[in-house]
Amino acid sequence: MSFEDIQTPAVLVDLDIAEANIEAYQAYCTKHGLALRPHIKTHKLPFLAKRQLNAGAIGITCQKISEAEAMIADGGINDVLITFNILGAEKLERLKALARKVRLSVVADNTSTVKGLSDAFSDTDSPLTVLVECDTGAERCGVTSPEAAQDLAQVINQSPGLTFGGLMTYPPAGREAEVHDWLTKARDMIEADALQVAVISNGGSPGMWQADAVPVATEYRIGTYVYNDRSLVERGVCDWGDCALTVLATVVSVPAADRAVIDAGTKVLTSDLLGLNGHGHVLGRPDITVDALSEEHGVLRAETIGLDVGDRIRIVPNHVCVVSNMVDEVQLIRGERDFGPSPVSARGKVI
Amino acid sequence: MSFEDIQTPAVLVDLDIAEANIEAYQAYCTKHGLALRPHIKTHKLPFLAKRQLNAGAIGITCQKISEAEAMIADGGINDVLITFNILGAEKLERLKALARKVRLSVVADNTSTVKGLSDAFSDTDSPLTVLVECDTGAERCGVTSPEAAQDLAQVINQSPGLTFGGLMTYPPAGREAEVHDWLTKARDMIEADALQVAVISNGGSPGMWQADAVPVATEYRIGTYVYNDRSLVERGVCDWGDCALTVLATVVSVPAADRAVIDAGTKVLTSDLLGLNGHGHVLGRPDITVDALSEEHGVLRAETIGLDVGDRIRIVPNHVCVVSNMVDEVQLIRGERDFGPSPVSARGKVI
- CA distance linking residue A199 with residue A35, whole number of Å: 10
CATH 3.20.20.10 fits B32-226, yes or no: yes
Mutation pick from A145, A263, A325 vs chain B, by most beta carbons of B within 10 Å, is A263
Q: Which CATH class is domain A16-226?
A: alpha beta
pLDDT value of position A119: 98
Q: Which residues of chain A does B94 touch, with a Cβ-Cβ cutoff of 8 Å?
A: none
pLDDT at A8 over 80: yes
pLDDT value of position A93: 97
Residue A140 and residue B299: Cβ atoms within 8 Å?
yes
Q: What is the ipTM of this complex?
A: 0.97
Q: Which residues of chain A does B310 touch, with a Cβ-Cβ cutoff of 8 Å?
A: 87-88, 112
Half-sphere exposure of A91 (CA within 13 A, CB side): 25
From B141, B255, B325, residue closest to A144, measured CB to CB: B255
Q: Which residues of chain A does B223 touch, with a Cβ-Cβ cutoff of 8 Å?
A: none
pLDDT at A337 over 90: no
Ramachandran bin of B177, using left for φ above 0, alpha for ψ from -120 to 50, beta for the remaining angles: alpha
Q: What is the DSSP string of A13-65?
A: EEHHHHHHHHHHHHHHHHHTT-EEEEBTTTT--HHHHHHHHHHT---EEESSH
Q: What is the mean pLDDT of residues A275-304?
A: 97
pLDDT value of position A336: 83
Write the DSSP symbol of residue A210. Answer: G
Interval A76-117: pLDDT, tens: 999 999 999 999 999 999 999 999 999 999 999 999 999 999
Count the Cβ atoms, other than its own, within 10 Å of residue A147: 12
Q: Which residues of chain A does B140 touch, with a Cβ-Cβ cutoff of 8 Å?
A: 261, 292, 294, 297, 299
Q: What is the mean pLDDT of residues A36-45?
A: 98
pLDDT value of position B249: 98
Interval A207-226: pLDDT, tens: 999 999 999 999 999 999 99
pLDDT at A318 over 90: yes
pLDDT value of position A188: 98
Q: Taking CA atoms, what residue in B is nearest to A324? A: B267
Q: How confident is the model at residue A162 (pLDDT cuts 50, 70, 90)?
A: very high
From B112, B143, B350, residue closest to A267, measured CB to CB: B350
Q: Which residues of chain A does B141 touch, with a Cβ-Cβ cutoff of 8 Å?
A: 252-253, 255, 261, 297
Mutation pick from B65, B84, B141 vs chain A, by most beta carbons of A within 10 Å, is B141
Q: Which helix (H) or strand (E) holds B249?
A: strand B245-256
Residue A141 and residue B252: Cβ atoms within 8 Å?
yes
Can you give the C-alpha Rg of chain B in angstroms?
22
Q: Taking CA atoms, what residue in B is nearest to A63? A: B296
Residue A299 and residue B87: Cβ atoms within 8 Å?
no
Min Cα–Cα distance to chain A from B342, Å: 15
pLDDT at A1 over 80: no
CATH 2.40.37.20 residue ranges in chain B?
A: 3-10+231-343
Residue A350 and residue B268: Cβ atoms within 8 Å?
yes
Residue B41 and residue A296: Cβ atoms within 8 Å?
yes
pLDDT value of position A338: 80
- CA distance linking residue A311 with residue B178, whole number of Å: 33
pLDDT value of position B3: 83
pLDDT value of position A177: 97
pLDDT value of position B62: 98
CATH 3.20.20.10 residue ranges in chain B?
A: 32-226
Contact A221, A81 (CB under 8 A): yes
Q: How far is CA A214 from CA A139, A219, A350, B60, in A?
A: 19, 10, 30, 57
From A5, A252, A271, residue closest to B270, measured CB to CB: A271
Residue A351 and residue B143: Cβ atoms within 8 Å?
no
pLDDT value of position B269: 98
In sequence order, the β-bridge partners of residue B334 are B337
Write the DSSP symbol of residue B73. Answer: T
Q: What is the mean pLDDT of residues A304-326?
A: 98
Q: Taking CA atoms, what residue in A is nearest to B248? A: A351
Min Cα–Cα distance to chain B from A289, Å: 14
Q: Which residues of chain B does A63 touch, with a Cβ-Cβ cutoff of 8 Å?
A: 295-296
pLDDT value of position B135: 98
A3-10+231-343: what fold? Answer: Lyase, Ornithine Decarboxylase; Chain A, domain 1 (2.40.37)
Q: What is the mean pLDDT of residues A26-36?
A: 98
Q: Which residues of chain B does A112 touch, with a Cβ-Cβ cutoff of 8 Å?
A: 308-310
Summary count for chain B: helices (H), strands (E)? 10, 17
Residue B295 and residue A41: Cβ atoms within 8 Å?
yes
Q: How far is CA A181 from CA A145, A177, B156, B277, in A?
A: 11, 6, 70, 35
Mutation pick from A141, A268, A324, A349 vs chain B, by most beta carbons of B within 10 Å, is A141
Can you give the C-alpha Rg of chain A in angstroms?
22
CATH 3.20.20.10 residue ranges in chain A?
A: 16-226
- CA distance linking residue A187 with residue A335, whole number of Å: 46
Residue B139 and residue A299: Cβ atoms within 8 Å?
yes
* Residues of chain B predicted below pLDDT 50: none
